[in-house]
Structure 1
């Protein structure tokens, strides 16, 4: 909501209060002012000019040489606007002026002719193009004949104004009008407000003699008021009216339409103007639409209606969608002479449903949806009639045609001062509460120590005791509410074991060079179970945003691959990402899907890239395997970790493994299948996903630090010839099992296949480290332990010691 302070000052005295101070006080009372817009943008030296002569530029077809009277002199200005002409009053930026955007005006020569300034369009004065009247959208703005050459043009255009931009909460629909804001500001400043004075001369002819009204849907339209104005002259609105509409973010059209928009912004009551002659029948009938009935609205779009949509008709065909937008077939146009003013109360739910179903939201529907003031319906119609008489020269027919079955009884709220103070933790006196409610112009009586309140119908948000508490608290001042600390047993906060372990995992991954990603929990049904460690019936949304976001995921990997593709497409060739998040498996007893926390990672591109040292290393399976081992080691779970070759759909058949802990699967790791990589425009890409919830729930012994051994260790290297299908992990498991307590470390350091090794075999070399923290080992002890290892390798893995 945009509120012009100049317009606001017509109804409440804000003289002497800086816009910044006013905005601060309004914000502190509960309505946030997002920004203050200075419509002048600091412009100076912008004046009214009179074009005395306008001729074509001899060297340019699209330029005109204008002799312009700017008050103190007649000066020459070159103008390229297509609508500039002799006899016009125009806006002139003199040399030295600075227009919005730091555009400085200087004397210049254009194609050999001198130009002393610029004739301006409204857009060049920082008025949005969508707010400029269509007649001047492609050229300069022409001022009325009454403008005086040489006078400051900014006040004439209403640009000497400050506009407050309100960020309204849904309950404060009363502030969707200038009068509503005036009530609020008057309460803040402890001032009364001055409502518009409505008076005009009625003609002898009665409205009910020329217009018949019938409402067949009283529930959806309990009140309808129609007034008839004859002999209107369609023209441009006066400049003051156009200025106010543009300041409020509304585009001027013509005087009749502008008046309805003006009253909408002033009273918060939507109006509509019908061309009486285009109605043809002299009748207005309000009814529910027929199923599939069509209407072309003012935006020139054909709308198909449903049987519960409310329409205004001429007794036969729809001429407006009630509360949303008028029809093109009854639009006021240049030839209109008789106007029917519609002011009505439409049920909020009905307007909301219709607006949503036909995909059309307007200023009118926004206000009807939130509920308009029933007691302003007639007043707004009378105000519009007054303005049409004054501005459009119309003759207002006597009386109005009304259907009124609307209950306008104000909501009664009874609340005790003690109840209010107990809820606020304050001691506000009864007199202060009455004063606050009086400033808000909320009728209140003190009866038997209680406040009996008749909430004004303009305040649709006042319904229960807590609403009154809020009004008193915000006007008394939230800053005055005392600060107190709760009195209770306190317990220092801290992380649970699970939370601390999760942080350890994240810290390790980030330390390893991976960036954290946050992706959607929703995916397509096709990808919901792709790469899933465990599958269950999928959970689909009833009303998804799109088919691509219709199903809850059961694996994080597809989302990380999408993110990798997105980055690679933007020339980020090396990507390393991880995510900890939930996957959704089946249903629990309450009918909701079971959430299980997983951790997943994706890496592609280069792992090492030192250009200066000419050292590069692409990512591979073992980089990601090392990261998994590091995670488990940081959690104290490295001893039970193992990997087992696996075949998984969508993964490379020879570079994929299940991740096991104590023989139970906890994850998967491997390269994406080349076909899948090509489909996603990725090079070699490796992924990992583990059941983080299961891992972090494993009980581990408390970490115990031991001193660095003082005694030397002894290393033995062995090279083994085994079948090509025997994995190094299997051999390592055998070595550790047979090595006993003296074997402290096993490292694989060589793999060889080729000359001097039998076909179908391979040579695998390990380095074994033996040590005892309490003493120095003898050769005999090491040989004895080492022989046990060799024997176990021969018997259990069929390995031969390579000579």
Structure 2
């Protein structure tokens, strides 16, 4: 909703309050002001000019030499290329030195040898949006009415010296979709009165009922319909002040009759429609539901097929308007209209919303009907519009109105106690303060002891229960004035659970390691849904998928991460490391909700480390991916409980994939994507991992143990063991740790050899063992004893021999 500050002053006294201050007060009271636009800020030097002479430019067919009176001592010559410029017009002239939108400065110039001292402007050049410029001036200069004063500031005359407040209204505040509604709000905030427009009564010898009758069949959808007849109207442009207010509110001016209906729409919040009485074709208005397949050509010259649940205004037989949405072309007010039938009606929101949605027609009128209009303004709005048509279209308003009225519109009555208001708000307000707030809102309030009964006017249809009254008290008292307190409870709410804290640590660690977080769809194709899944289960297909690409709930996150890699590689982004924490969905019994399990997945490809100046490049490999996970397990205190075993998983490289176990239970895998899959997806060497995040985060972490820095030296022994090729280095590692006893502190693998000098079916694995006693210096004999024990254990359990 766009609110003109200058227009608002007609309804409420704003003296002493700037537009910016008003915007802040409205925002603090509960309606957000999204911005304040000063239309002519930074602009200057545009005045009303009178074109005294016009002749063709001697050197250019499309240019004109104009002699323009600017209210100064002498007229000036201006070259103008607008096709509609003519002698005798009052126009907007940017004088030499003027500044136009876009910081466009006007200077003296010569155009094809002729001097030009300024520019005759279109409305668009003055900063008015093209979509709200009247069609007559959409492709040329703007012409002021003949009574415009030469030399007058054009910005002021066009309403561009105004400030426009843009209100961000929530659906419940339909009352603020009108100038009077905003005036009530502002008056309540400032503690001032609302000034209603003065409506002059027009007496005519003829009665409107002699010209038209109204019959409503669909009374539930249209409980009130008011028709007025205005004769002898003269169609022409509306007053300039009205056009500028409409343009500032985002509405394009058309002619005086249509502009008046739009003006009253903005003023009262009540949609109106004007029919050409002579085009209706009968003396009857019948409001009914449309017949299935019935057609109407609307004002936008589009033929529309109606449904049985659409509401139409008819002449007794054929539709002349789609109720509350758009009028019909067959009854449009045009330049030859002399008699106007004015409609003001109360339509229920649901039926208007249905028609608006079905036909893709969302208008200023339909949006107000959908949110709800004030039933007590229907008749007032019609009288206001008729009065304006008499003043600005020279019309004769026929006596009375023709109505169909079955509307039951009673104000809501809500009671509340002082204790409840103070308890909810945490305040200590007095009953007199509460009553004062409701009276500022112009709600009738009656106090009985500590209870207050409020009669809510029909314009505020959003107030129906006690909590609504509490909200009104809070916002008018001032949210800033409400006391600030901390929650009182056994435990302070709002903390993260241990699970959530650990999940944050996981994300923080992975991002610190260089992986970017991804968020992918939980829906995928039937083919991809089960790939790389940690648990085998039937897939779950949506009953009504929007597309086959998003038709099935996933069992694994990895396929979506591979799609991200494919997308990036196709765009020359070839070094990527990403991860995602998200849910997978396991099917249970029929008609039962699936089990959701949270998993962690990652995908890496390209270079992991690159220092081109030093000639260093480290491509991603299995050990990079495994190293990231080992660092994560160390961060979570699980390093000693995790083991890696060779694995054969569909879609993964058979020799570069490991199953991951936590305390002996499988929790996921890490490895390289199978070469055939990489080729199919145009991927380079790609390494992925996927783990059960729930298993990791719910596992009991090892307690943190601190050790002092050793005071005594350690002794290192290296051994190269020849074992069968199928013997896992991890098994040997475990045997060494177990046999080494308390003196063995570290074991690491530093070499693997399988070559020509090694017997067929054998390999050499080299380990480095560090022995240390924190209390004393070890002797060679003690180390040799412990070391021999290790060699014996390895030989007995794996058949290993020392490599010569």
Displacement of 1:733: 4.0
Deviations 1:497-529 (A, max 9, x none): 434433433333233222334445555555444
State the distance in 1 between where 2:331 and 2:674 align.
64
Call closer, same or farther: CA 1:229–1:684 in 2, change over 3 Å: farther
- Equivalent residue for 2:131? 130
Displacement of 1:224: 1.4
Call closer, same or farther: CA 1:601–1:281 in 2, change over 3 Å: same
Answer whether contact 1:41 1:100 (CA < 8 A) is retained.
no
- Equivalent residue for 1:667? 668
Call closer, same or farther: CA 1:776–1:305 in 2, change over 3 Å: farther
Moved more, 755-764 or 699-708: 755-764
- Equivalent residue for 1:271? 272
- Equivalent residue for 1:28? 28
- Equivalent residue for 2:15? 15
Moved more, 329-338 or 535-544: 535-544
Displacement of 1:792: 5.3
Displacement of 1:6: 1.3
Answer whether contact 1:30 1:474 (CA < 8 A) is retained.
yes
SS at match of 1:148: coil
Moved more, 548-557 or 14-23: 548-557
Answer whether contact 2:208 2:398 (CA < 8 A) is retained.
yes
SS at match of 2:403: strand
State the distance in 2 between where 1:657 and 1:328 align.
73
State the distance in 1 between where 2:314 and 2:493 align.
69
Displacement of 1:626: 0.7
SS at match of 1:3: strand
Displacement of 1:706: 1.4
State the distance in 1 between where 2:24 and 2:49 align.
39
Displacement of 1:132: 1.5
- Equivalent residue for 2:140? 139
State the distance in 1 between where 2:733 and 2:450 align.
87
Deviations 1:553-587 (A, max 9, x none): 44333443444455555554322222333334346
State the distance in 2 between where 1:362 and 1:542 align.
35
1:257 equivalent in alignment to 2:263:
no
- Report the TM-score when normalising by structure 1: 0.91
- Equivalent residue for 1:336? 337
Moved more, 363-372 or 347-356: 347-356
State the distance in 2 between where 1:461 and 1:190 align.
22
Displacement of 1:38: 0.7
Answer whether contact 2:234 2:395 (CA < 8 A) is retained.
yes
- Equivalent residue for 1:381? 382
State the distance in 1 between where 2:544 and 2:270 align.
34
State the distance in 2 between where 1:246 and 1:466 align.
38
State the distance in 2 between where 1:659 and 1:155 align.
76
**Equivalence map 1:343-492=2 (5 Å):** 343-447=344-448, 450-489=451-490
State the distance in 1 between where 2:301 and 2:751 align.
77
Call closer, same or farther: CA 1:718–1:520 in 2, change over 3 Å: same
Answer whether contact 2:638 2:702 (CA < 8 A) is retained.
no
- Equivalent residue for 2:582? 581
- Equivalent residue for 2:318? 317
Displacement of 1:61: 4.4
- Equivalent residue for 1:4? 4
Answer whether contact 1:415 1:450 (CA < 8 A) is retained.
yes
Displacement of 1:160: 1.5
**Equivalence map 1:703-722=2 (5 Å):** 703-722=704-723
SS at match of 1:351: helix
Answer whether contact 2:235 2:257 (CA < 8 A) is retained.
yes
Deviations 1:389-446 (A, max 9, x none): 2222333333222111010211122233344334333343333333332222212333
SS at match of 1:598: strand
SS at match of 2:613: coil
Answer whether contact 1:410 1:457 (CA < 8 A) is retained.
yes
SS at match of 1:71: coil
State the distance in 2 between where 1:297 and 1:787 align.
99
State the distance in 1 between where 2:655 and 2:143 align.
78
- Equivalent residue for 2:749? 748
Call closer, same or farther: CA 1:454–1:539 in 2, change over 3 Å: farther
- Equivalent residue for 1:63? 63
SS at match of 1:398: coil
Displacement of 1:298: 3.4
SS at match of 1:612: helix
Deviations 1:458-487 (A, max 9, x none): 111121222223223322333333344455
Displacement of 1:104: 1.7
Displacement of 1:65: 3.1
**Equivalence map 1:17-166=2 (5 Å):** 17-72=17-72, 73-166=74-167
State the distance in 2 between where 1:133 and 1:127 align.
11
Unaligned 5+ residue runs, structure 2? none
**Equivalence map 1:589-738=2 (5 Å):** 593-674=594-675, 676-677=677-678, 682-722=683-723, 724-738=725-739
Displacement of 1:801: 4.5
SS at match of 1:602: strand
State the distance in 1 between where 2:311 and 2:710 align.
88
Displacement of 1:635: 2.2
**Equivalence map 1:504-543=2 (5 Å):** 504-523=505-524, 527-536=528-537
State the distance in 1 between where 2:754 and 2:299 align.
81
State the distance in 1 between where 2:375 and 2:493 align.
55
State the distance in 2 between where 1:761 and 1:301 align.
84
State the distance in 1 between where 2:335 and 2:547 align.
45
Deviations 1:176-224 (A, max 9, x none): 1001111122222222222122225354443333333222211111111
Call closer, same or farther: CA 1:66–1:493 in 2, change over 3 Å: closer
Deviations 1:83-106 (A, max 9, x none): 333332211111211222222222
Displacement of 1:41: 1.8
**Equivalence map 1:189-200=2 (5 Å):** 189-200=190-201
State the distance in 2 between where 1:52 and 1:519 align.
69
State the distance in 2 between where 1:433 and 1:590 align.
53
Call closer, same or farther: CA 1:557–1:114 in 2, change over 3 Å: farther
SS at match of 2:241: helix
State the distance in 2 between where 1:100 and 1:12 align.
31
SS at match of 1:475: helix
Answer whether contact 1:588 1:594 (CA < 8 A) is retained.
no
Call closer, same or farther: CA 1:753–1:84 in 2, change over 3 Å: farther
Answer whether contact 1:200 1:389 (CA < 8 A) is retained.
no
Answer whether contact 2:637 2:703 (CA < 8 A) is retained.
no
State the distance in 2 between where 1:379 and 1:526 align.
65
SS at match of 1:180: helix
Answer whether contact 1:289 1:309 (CA < 8 A) is retained.
yes
Deviations 1:246-276 (A, max 9, x none): 1111122222222221111111011122333
Displacement of 1:365: 1.9
Call closer, same or farther: CA 1:789–1:359 in 2, change over 3 Å: farther
State the distance in 2 between where 1:336 and 1:796 align.
107
Displacement of 1:457: 0.7
Call closer, same or farther: CA 1:491–1:94 in 2, change over 3 Å: closer
State the distance in 2 between where 1:83 and 1:762 align.
95
State the distance in 2 between where 1:152 and 1:565 align.
62
State the distance in 2 between where 1:327 and 1:793 align.
95
Call closer, same or farther: CA 1:767–1:545 in 2, change over 3 Å: same
State the distance in 1 between where 2:547 and 2:338 align.
49
Displacement of 1:608: 0.9
1:176 equivalent in alignment to 2:169:
no
Call closer, same or farther: CA 1:20–1:490 in 2, change over 3 Å: same
Deviations 1:286-336 (A, max 9, x none): 222333444444344454443323222333333333222233443333343
